[in-house]
């Protein structure tokens, strides 16, 4: 009668269990890398909800005065040429980048930049609520097809640039209070922040170009 003999070798490399002891370290690494961006995304969503809820409380005259920030005066924009549409969209995005740029060189910027992110979400939510309430189903289709793509693209650029602005402002705060930053390191951070600003402006141009293209292609298909 034949038998089978099983031999077990003490080889620790053949089977490895997941490194559960590293989960805490990985979480801290993710929090350090993406925590600030997650806060800005949350602030944007918070402003979006508040704007969408409170949009019905604003009058038409108020929206017309703030058309630089809100896409509300659709009839007026449809009468613009391509260049004016691009400029109008560019300015509405540029204002937030400019405010973040100034906040990045301020010791109080780490407080104002999250507010700017929430304000952008508020403008998106407010304008969407206005368009939906004024134009119903046509307004919903118009907003999703024409306005929303550029706004979503700008959201990613805004959160990324706001993160750099927040960290730059925090460095100035530490420098003013504790003097931690050395001059060569500070110059390097400023140079990096300026480069990120140029990239953010290029992103704004791309978002405005997308808005312009969508307005030209699809805006006239909607009849309000």
Q: What is the pLDDT of residues 139-187, one digit of tens each?
A: 788 888 888 899 999 999 999 999 999 999 988 888 877 766 666 788 8
pTM (2 d.p.) = 0.79
Most confident range, picked from 24-33, 101-110, 133-142: 101-110
Domain ranges of the chain: 37-67+83-221
Maximum Cα–Cα distance for the chain, whole Å?
98
Q: Give φ, ψ of 150 to 5 degrees.
A: -65, -35
The pLDDT, as a whole number, for residue 15 is: 45
The answer, yes or no, to whether residue 75 has pLDDT greater than 70, is no
Average the pLDDT over 22-50 and give the result: 81
CA atoms of 221 and 87, how far apart (whole Å): 22
Average pLDDT of the chain to the nearest whole number:
81
Cα-based distances in Å from 83 to 72, 79, 92, 118: 19, 12, 14, 29
Query: pLDDT class for 6, splitting at 50, 70, 90?
Result: very low
The pLDDT, as a whole number, for residue 65 is: 59
Average the pLDDT over 13-20 and give the result: 47
Lowest mean pLDDT among 85-99, 146-160, 210-224: 210-224
The pLDDT, as a whole number, for residue 62 is: 63
Most confident range, picked from 65-79, 129-143, 207-221: 207-221
Is 26 or 38 the better-scoring residue by pLDDT?
A: 38
Which residues have C-beta within 8 Å of that of residue 169, sequence separation ≥ 6? 103, 104, 105, 106, 107, 108, 109, 110, 113
The torsion angle over the Cα atoms of residues 208, 153, 145 and 85, rounded to 10 degrees, is: -10
The pLDDT, as a whole number, for residue 191 is: 93
């Amino acid at each position: 009668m034949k038998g089978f003999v099983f031999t077990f070798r003490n080889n620790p490399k053949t089977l490895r269990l997941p490194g559960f002891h590293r989960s805490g370290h990985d979480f801290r690494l993710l929090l350090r890398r993406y925590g600030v961006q997650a806060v800005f995304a949350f602030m944007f969503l918070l402003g979006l909800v508040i704007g969408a809820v409170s949009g019905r409380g604003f009058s038409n005259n108020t929206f017309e005065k703030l058309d630089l920030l809100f896409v509300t005066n659709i009839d007026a924009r449809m009468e613009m040429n391509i260049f004016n549409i691009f400029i109008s969209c560019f300015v509405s995005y540029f204002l937030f980048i400019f405010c973040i740029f100034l906040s990045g060189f301020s010791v109080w910027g780490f407080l104002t930049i999250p507010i700017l992110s929430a304000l952008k979400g508020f403008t998106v939510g407010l304008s969407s609520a206005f368009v939906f309430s004024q134009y119903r189903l046509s307004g919903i289709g118009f907003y999703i097809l024409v306005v929303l793509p550029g706004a979503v693209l700008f959201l990613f650029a805004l959160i990324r640039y706001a993160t750099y602005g927040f960290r730059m402002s925090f460095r100035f705060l530490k420098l003013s209070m504790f003097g931690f930053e050395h001059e060569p390191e500070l110059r390097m951070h400023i140079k990096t922040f300026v480069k990120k600003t140029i990239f953010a402006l290029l992103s704004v141009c791309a978002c405005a170009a997308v808005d312009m293209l969508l307005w030209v292609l699809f805006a006239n298909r909607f009849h309000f």
